[in-house]
């Protein structure tokens, strides 16, 4: 990232991958949110980071 050829972030989902996902039903992408915040929708098997504090408070996530 600090050099002309360096970068600190990935470019994201590949363009050809997006084409392969077209036409699939929304149920494959969106799902129920975490137990402590079911109002937050999940996306592609992940939950929003906004749910992290409530998940920690609920005891569903903890650090070792």
SS in 3 state form for the chain?
CCCCCCCCCCCCCCHHHHHHHCCCCHHHCEECCCCCCCCCCEECCECCHHHHHHHHHHCCCCCC
Q: Which two tokens stand for residue 52?
A: 């992290």
The whole model's pTM is what?
A: 0.55
What digits encode the pLDDT tens for the residues 35-51? 999 898 888 778 888 89
Strand runs (DSSP E) across 1-64, as ranges?
30-31, 42-43
Question: Distance between the two ends of the chain, CA-based, in angstroms?
Answer: 31
Residues 13-25 pLDDT 10s: 666 666 666 777 7
């Amino acid at each position: 990232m600090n050099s002309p050829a360096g970068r600190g972030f990935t470019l994201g989902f590949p363009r050809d991958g997006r084409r392969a996902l077209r036409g699939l039903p929304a149920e494959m992408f969106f799902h129920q949110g975490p137990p402590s915040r079911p109002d937050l929708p999940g996306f592609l098997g992940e939950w929003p980071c906004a749910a992290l504090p409530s998940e920690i408070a609920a005891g569903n996530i903890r650090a070792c």
